[in-house]
Chains A and B, each alone.
Chain A
C-alpha cells in the first residue's frame, strides 16, 4: 500500500515540478495513487495469508498484470470524467489493457524490489496492533533465519579446509 501511495505522491511531485495546475496534480495523484495503494495493500494481505511466497516473481507478476491495467483504467476514467474529455481512451479497450499488462511486468519487478527493501521495516512499526503484520513479519523472520543458516553453513565450510590444501 505504501508503494501505491508513493506512486501517487510521485505523480503529484512531478506534476508540481512540471508546472501543472493544482487540480490536475491532485486528480492525477489520487486517481493513480489510490487504486495502486489498494492493489499494493491487497498484495500484502495475500502475502500474509500465504498465497504468495516472499520474494517470488511469477505469481506477483501475474497479480500486477491484472491490477496494473485496472488501476490505469480507473486513472484514465477519472481524468476524463473530471476534465470532461471527449474520449476516455485514445485506443480500443483491448489494446489499452494489453499494453498496460505488458508494461506491468516492469512495474512488478520494481515493486518487488522496493517492497522487499521497505516492507520489513514498516511491519516492525505496525506489528503491535496489526495481526496480519505480525504473521507476515514471522514469515520474514523465518526467511531471514533460513538465510542465516546458509551463512553459518558457509562459515563452517570455510573453517574446515580440505586435507588436500
Chain B
C-alpha cells in the first residue's frame, strides 16, 4: 500500500463521532423491546447475557476500527484481500438480511397504536422520506450525524425522564445486580420456545448483523485515521462534485515514532467512542427501559403470562399496556412513541449503511462499476432497497413487523459469527506487526465467533429451530 502521513487525532473526549451510528443502530428493538421482554419473563438476572453481548460488541467495534483507521479501506476490502469469496459472502448476506424493512415496520406498527394510521402507509412514507433526504444531502455523513444526534438525544432524555417518574431505587438496583448473575438460566429459558429468542436477543444486544462492518465505512467518511485520504460520499443531487475514489487505501509508516504516536492518539479516540459512548449509552438506555419494565410488572403481574401465551405483536401490546398500568395511560403511549422513534432511527442508519456497504463493494469489485461515481452507486442501492421495501409491504409475504424482525435476528447471529472470523484474519494477516491486535483482543473476538455460531448451532440441533 502507498505510504502517506497520518493526520493527528482529535481530543479523545468528544461527543459527536461515528459512534452515533452504532448507538443509533444499537439502541434498537433489542434494548427497548426484546431485553425488557426477557426481563419480564425471567427476571433481571437474565441480563448477564446482555452484558456479555454488549461488552463483546464494544471489543468488536474497537477491532473493526483498527484496519480502516490504519489503511482507509473498509473491512470488506480487507476481507477481499484475505479471501475474495469472503467479501462476496457479506455482499450476498447484506442483500438477504437488510432488504427486509423490519425495523421501520415495527416502528410504524407502534405509531399505528398511537395514531390509528395504518402501519404500511407510515412505513412507506418513512422510506420515501429517508430516500429523498439522502438524495438531496451534500455530504451524507454530516446530515446523518445531525439528524441522528437529535433523535438519539430525544430518546435518551425521554427514557431517563420516564424511568425517573415510574421507577424506584430497588428497580435500578436489581437491574444492575442482574447483569452480574453470570450463569443464571431458568429451565424455561432452555426450551424450544425461548432459547432461540434468547439467541436472537443476544445478537440484538447492541448493533446486530453487519452493522459493525458498515461502521468501518462511517469511520472512513468521518475521516478517521487514514480515512482522511479518502473522499466523502455525496448525495445524488451533488454527485457531480464527488471526487474520484482512489483504487486502494494507504498505510502510514509504522517505523516512524511520530506516526506511531498519532496512531495511539486515534486508538485512544476510538476507545473513548467504544467504551463511553457506545457501551455507556447503550447500557444507560437499556437500564432505563428495564426499570420501566420492572415498574410495570410490579403493577400488572399478569403481563408475563400474556407474553408467554401470545404472539410477538401481542407481547408488544401487553408491554405497552403494562407500562400504562405502571404509571398512567400516558406510559403506554410513551412506550409506543419510543418504539416508533427507534424504528425511524434504525431505518435512517440501516438504509444508509446498506447502500454505503453495497456501493463500496460494487465500486471496487464489480467490473465496469467505476464508470459510475460512488455517490451514484450509493443512490442506486438506496432507492433499490426502498423500492423493494415498498413492494414487500404492499404485496409481499411479510408476516407483519414481528415476523420480519425474527428473520433479521436469525440472519444477524450468523453474520456476526462470520465477521468475527474475518476480523481475526484481516487484522492479523493484513496489518503490519506493530499495529496488530494483542492476544487478549484476539481471544475475545475468537470467543465471539464461538459464542454466536455456537449458540446458533445449539439452537438448531437441540431444538430444530433457530428463532421462534
A residues contacting B by CB (< 8 A) are 3, 7, 10-11, 14-15, 17-20, 32, 55-57, 68, 72, 75, 90-91, 95-96, 98-100, 102-107, 109-114, 116-117, 147, 150, 153-154, 157-158, 160-162, 164-165
Given contacts A14-B334, A110-B160, contact A116 B15 (CB under 8 A): yes
Q: How far is the CB of B325 from chain A (nearest CB, A)?
A: 12
Nearest CB to that of A113 among chain B residues?
A: B153
Q: How far is the CB of A134 from chain B (nearest CB, A)?
A: 24
Interface pair B150/A117, CB less than 8 Å apart? yes
Number of residues from B at the complex interface, CB < 8 A:
57
Nearest CB to that of A24 among chain B residues?
A: B328
In the A-B complex, list the 8 residue pairs whose CB atoms are closest, starting with the nearest.
A18-B330, A110-B156, A110-B157, A95-B169, A106-B284, A113-B153, A114-B153, A165-B2
Chain B 329-362: CB-based contact to A (< 8 A → 1; otherwise 0) = 1111110010000000000000000000000000
Interface pair B5/A114, CB less than 8 Å apart? no
Give the docked Cα–Cα distance between A90 and B158 (Å): 21
Residues of A close to B146: CB separation below 8 A: 117
Residues of B close to A114: CB separation below 8 A: 149-150, 153-154, 157
B126 on the interface (CB 8 Å rule)? no
Nearest CB to that of B5 among chain A residues?
A: A157
Interface pair A109/B156, CB less than 8 Å apart? yes
Among B7, B163, B223, B337, contact of A103 (Cβ-Cβ < 8 Å): B163
Interface pair A100/B164, CB less than 8 Å apart? yes
Q: How far is the CB of A50 from chain B (nearest CB, A)?
A: 17
Interface pair B161/A11, CB less than 8 Å apart? yes
Give the docked Cα–Cα distance between A30 and B14 (Å): 33
Residues of A close to B369: CB separation below 8 A: none
Give the docked Cα–Cα distance between A150 and B156 (Å): 30
Chain B 131-160: CB-based contact to A (< 8 A → 1; otherwise 0) = 000000000000000100110111111111
Among A90, A106, A153, contact of B287 (Cβ-Cβ < 8 Å): A106
Count, A-B residue pairs, CB within 8 A? 149
Give the docked Cα–Cα distance between A57 and B8 (Å): 22
Q: How far is the CB of A89 from chain B (nearest CB, A)?
A: 10
Nearest CB to that of A105 among chain B residues?
A: B284
Residues of B close to A11: CB separation below 8 A: 161
Residues of B close to A100: CB separation below 8 A: 164
Q: How far is the CB of B272 from chain A (nearest CB, A)?
A: 10
Interface pair A20/B16, CB less than 8 Å apart? no
Give the docked Cα–Cα distance between A10 and B338 (Å): 13
Interface pair A106/B10, CB less than 8 Å apart? no
Residues of A close to B6: CB separation below 8 A: 157
B280 on the interface (CB 8 Å rule)? yes
Residues of A close to B159: CB separation below 8 A: 106
Interface pair A99/B168, CB less than 8 Å apart? yes
Give the docked Cα–Cα distance between A110 and B15 (Å): 10
Chain B positions 415-430 with a Cβ under 8 Å from a chain A Cβ: none
Give the docked Cα–Cα distance between A158 and B168 (Å): 54
Among B13, B15, B332, contact of A113 (Cβ-Cβ < 8 Å): B15
Give the docked Cα–Cα distance between A105 and B170 (Å): 17
Interface pair B3/A113, CB less than 8 Å apart? no
